Amino acid sequence: MKTTNLIRHVNETRCLRLLRRASPLSRADIARELGLTRATAGNVIAVLLEADLAMELNEPLEAGKVGRPGIRVALNPKGAFFVGIDVSSTWLAGVLVDFSGAVLNKITIPNSKNFREPEPVAQAIADLARRLVVGAGVDTRRVRGVGVSVPGIVGRDGVVVSAKLLEWEDIDIGQLVATSLGAPWPIRVCNDAVALSAAIGALDTHETEDMLVVLLSEGIGAAIIRNGRVAEGVGGFAGEIGHMVLSASPEDAKSLTLGLLGGYGPFLPLLPSGQSIAEGLASLAAMRSPSGPLEVVLDRWARVISVGLLNLIHVLNPARIVLGGPLAVLFNRIEARVATVLRANLLHGLVLPPIEVAGVEADTVAVGAAGTLRDSIFLLPELDQIGNGLPVGRSVRFAEIAGSHSER
């Protein structure tokens, strides 16, 4: 990448990140915050305005003042749209979000009874994506992609290496969705816990540099956040805590895992009839006096979660732990029990990190799947990418976006 293009790329991305954090701002504010000259800041803003990723707002005049109102710059919510679809063995939860991250449309449907067959699932994902966009009345040319989250191991190339709950192995679900969709929208496939971390990151009022995000759902997964980024591991598979064996016997490696013991399976017989799984779990959480059977399941679940978190804290030593997913709504029922076990068994010198609950809504992971695409627009290039010939950056890409809009 040429130095001038790299500088433009970085400045444009820094400007977008600034507007995401504090918007709207005057041109003078932007120049001062980014340490740029007025002329350079003006050029950066012009590119973002042309790409429709930013917009100008007239600042109201203060009482008693005359003259032209000032103009401030903000992110343009209608400049880009993103589809997110979360896949489980029982449902497909889909959302459409705008560039500000606001949810414009959401639809949840039962997954195909043939969920073990990727082709019908891919077709259902494609159909749902079209419904979300058409239902919101959005210009399809402003849709920047479809994010698909799955409960399994996803390689950096987007191939689902293993999704035990779906019984998938080595499935290129992204390509199958693209073929079924027939639209020129990029498809990004990610692990569901990574999607949850993107959703939680968007909810945070501060940029979290170090945390462990744990998804409590049909199974259990995690995203390890280090220095503000998801730690992927050598093959991109880091965070598969659901496969952590809770036994000293190798024979138990496929049965006594954190995911199988700590997922919502044991709660299913207790759910009220006529409700979705997420609604049923919320109903259990709202009960003032848990029934005897529910208390038994909660006690067993508390033991499993305590052991799992104890191991994870010893290995990862996170600054904070955030629990999300439909099952996390029940954590307040066992929080005291878990904290007691952790404090009694943590290694001397280790501090128990704060454990928070966020993102328990049924479509939170879908929002995060869309968010992984949205977040990519705000990412600064890494040095190793630059050294390996990263394509001329967002300066060119923003110009291409502007060109596509001019075709209307």
Within a domain: 274: yes
Tell me: do 249 and 343 sit in the same domain. Answer: yes
* C-alpha–C-alpha distance, residues 304 and 44, integer Å: 52
pLDDT of residue 70: 72
Residue written as tokens 């705000």?
Answer: 378
Say whether both 96 and 192 belong to one domain: yes
CATH of the domain at 10: 1.10.10.10
What pTM was computed for the model?
0.84
| Residue 173 phi, psi (nearest 5) | -65, -30
Residue 45 and residue 123 share a domain: no
303 and 175, same structural domain? no
* Same-domain check for residues 273 and 339: yes
Note whether 350 and 233 are same-domain residues: yes
Query: What is the rounded distance in angstroms from the CA atom of residue 209 to the CA atom of residue 207?
Result: 6
Question: What's residue 398's pLDDT?
Answer: 53
Q: How many Å is the maximal CA-CA distance in the chain? A: 80
| Inside any domain, residue 381 | no
**What does the alpha-carbon distance between residue 146 and residue 131 come to, in Å, rounded to a whole number?**
13
Q: Would 246 be classed as within a structural domain?
A: yes
Domain total in the chain: 3
Whether residues 190 and 221 fall in one domain? no
In a domain, 253, yes or no: yes
Residue 208 has a pLDDT of: 61
Tokens standing for 154?
Answer: 């996803």
Domain shared by 215 and 354, yes or no: yes
Is the same domain home to 352 and 218? yes
CA-to-CA dists, residue 407 to 6, 53, 54, 383, angstroms: 27, 16, 19, 35
Q: Output the tens digit of pLDDT for each of the chain's 408 residues.
A: 567 788 888 999 999 999 998 879 999 999 999 999 999 999 999 999 999 999 999 876 455 555 455 789 999 999 999 999 999 998 999 999 999 999 999 999 988 788 899 999 999 999 999 999 999 999 999 999 999 999 999 998 999 999 999 999 999 999 999 999 998 999 999 999 999 998 987 766 455 678 999 999 999 999 999 887 888 888 888 999 999 999 999 999 989 999 999 999 999 999 999 898 999 999 999 998 888 999 999 999 999 999 999 999 999 999 999 999 999 999 999 999 999 999 999 999 999 999 999 877 888 999 999 999 998 898 877 654 444 444 433 333 554 454 454 433
Cα 215 from Cα 15, distance rounded (Å)? 32
My answer on whether 221 and 179 are in the same domain is no
Report in angstroms the alpha-carbon separations of 182 from 112, 130, 150: 21, 10, 21
Chain segment 157-174, per-residue pLDDT in tens:
999 999 999 999 999 999
Q: Does residue 356 form part of some domain?
A: yes
Residues 236, 326 within the same domain: yes
Containing domain of residue 241, as a range? Answer: 206-362
3-state secondary structure of 113: coil
CATH of the domain at 299: 3.30.420.40
Q: Is residue 370 part of a domain?
A: yes
303 with 311: CB under 8 angstroms? no
Quote the percentage of the chain above a pLDDT of 70. 89
The strand ranges marked E within 143-286 are 143-150, 153-154, 160-163, 168-171, 187-191, 210-216, 220-226, 229-230
Q: Which residue has the tokens 């917009």?
A: 55
In a domain, 286, yes or no: yes
Evaluate whether residue 143 is within a structural domain.
yes
307 and 349, same domain (yes or no): yes
Q: Taking the CA of residue 235 as centre, how many other CA atoms within 13 Å lie in the half-sphere pointing to its CB? A: 9
